[in-house]
Amino acid sequence: MAFFFDLFVNGLMIGSMYALVALGFVLIYKATSVVNFAQGELVMFGGYIAAALLVLYKLPLAVALPVLLGSMIALGFIVERGVLRPMVGQNVISVVMVTVGLAQVFQGAAALLWGAQTKNIPLPIPLEPYVIWEIYLSPVNIAAAVVSGVFMVTFVWFFRKSRMGIAMRATANDQQAAMAVGINVRMVFALSWAIAGLAAALGGVLWGNLIGVDTQLALVGLKVFPAVILGGLDSVPGALVGGLIIGAVESVAAGYVDPYVGGGTKDFLPYVLMILALMVRPYGFFGREIIERV
């Protein structure tokens, strides 16, 4: 039983990192109806910048972190302004293709700027695991869960209570009405991308620290799809729950099944879940039901 809980708890912590990346994806989809296939690449880019700042330029973490967050927010703004805004009003497939192209541009640019070999992100976190009730908790996972958790709680508060957050939800609900009450819809779009950039920056540091920074890091973006499909494409709590489920399921499954099949369970089970979810509940656990008054 301890083995199960060990897998489960560590899986949840990994899941919180998926949730972080998924949050950025959901936010962009909700506010701007853009399915962003470059979310993973955004994370990768964040990881690259972090590695570059810490290893290449040898900046202390306290300096590197604000620079990283600032540049990823700026990157979000630039992408929205320069690439997505001209696409407003085009059909869905064109917009999707633009984000796919964007993903490749990020891949290429990162390799071009900082090289393709794997880099480490050194974080001042001890390696020695804590043992609580026979469960081995690695400090890196704990740190990741804490950072993701804090970010998400802050975000949810912002989204529910702040003036800008309410404006974002209003825009997601009815764009024209949002304009009619004076909400600056372009500002909302830009802000969604900026927050997605911020989430990607944190995701990049955490994931980069865990698995190393190279272009493969973008693959974490692929795990976002099962997470958001499970939770509901347009639901912020859905992103959180979906991420946690995917993290826990892949960890537990890998622990029990991998010894028999020789590995790989982690990579396919989330997608099996996604396909099942699409068959049973295509709008996800928390996806938006259309309100109709009769």
Partner 1 sequence: MVSDAPRPLLSVSNIEVIYDHVILVLKGVSLTVPEGGIVALLGANGAGKSTTLKAISGLLRTERGEVTKGAIEFRGRAIHRRNPSEVVKHGIVQVMEGRHVFEHLTVEENLLTGAYTRHNGQSTKKDLDVVYHYFPRLTERRGFKAGYVSGGEQQMVAIGRALMARPTLMLLDEPSMGLAPMLVTEIFEIVARLNRAEGVAVLLAEQNATMALQVARHGYVMENGRIVLDGDAKAISENEDIKEFYLGLTGVGQRKSYRDVKHYRRRKRWLS
| Sites for partner 1 among residues 202-231 (CB under 8 A) | none
Q: Is 66 helix (H, G, I), strand (E, B) or coil?
A: helix
Q: How far is the C-alpha of 4 from the C-alpha of 13, rounded, in Å?
A: 14
Question: Using CB under 8 A as the criterion, what x/- string covers residues 125-164 for binding partner 1?
Answer: --------------------------------------x-
CB of 232 to partner 1, least distance (A): 13
Q: Which is nearer to partner 1, 183 or 196 (CB)?
A: 183
Q: Does 166 bind partner 1 (CB under 8 A)?
A: yes
Write out the DSSP string of 131-180: EETTEEE-HHHHHHHHHHHHHHHHHHHHHHHSHHHHHHHHHHH-HHHHHH
Q: Does 90 bind partner 1 (CB under 8 A)?
A: no
Q: Does 177 bind partner 1 (CB under 8 A)?
A: yes
Side chain identity at residue 78, one-letter code: I
Q: How far is the C-alpha of 235 from the C-alpha of 139, rounded, in Å?
A: 30
Q: Does 94 bind partner 1 (CB under 8 A)?
A: no
Q: Does 233 bind partner 1 (CB under 8 A)?
A: no
Q: How far is the C-alpha of 202 from the C-alpha of 205, rounded, in Å?
A: 5
Q: Does 85 bind partner 1 (CB under 8 A)?
A: no
Q: Which is nearer to partner 1, 81 or 215 (CB)?
A: 81
Side chain identity at residue 103, one-letter code: A
Q: How far is the C-alpha of 240 from the C-alpha of 97, rounded, in Å?
A: 27
**According to CB under 8 A, which one of 179, 272, 275, 276 is a site residue for partner 1?**
179
CB of 293 to partner 1, least distance (A): 7
Q: Are 198 and 46 in contact (CB under 8 A)?
A: no
Q: How many Cβ atoms are within 10 Å of 212's Cβ, its own excluded?
A: 16
Write out the DSSP string of 73-139: HHHHHHHIIIIIGGGTTS-HHHHHHHHHHHHHHHHHHHHHHH-SS-B----S---SPEEETTEEE-H
Q: Which is nearer to partner 1, 28 or 183 (CB)?
A: 183
Side chain identity at residue 181, one-letter code: V
**According to CB under 8 A, which one of 121, 178, 217, 236 is a site residue for partner 1?**
178
- Applying CB under 8 A, what is the total number of residues that bind partner 1? 22
Q: Which is nearer to partner 1, 72 or 183 (CB)?
A: 183
Q: Does 170 bind partner 1 (CB under 8 A)?
A: yes
CB of 58 to partner 1, least distance (A): 42
Q: Does 87 bind partner 1 (CB under 8 A)?
A: no
Residues contributing to the site for partner 1 (CB under 8 A): 163, 166-167, 169-170, 172-185, 288, 291, 293
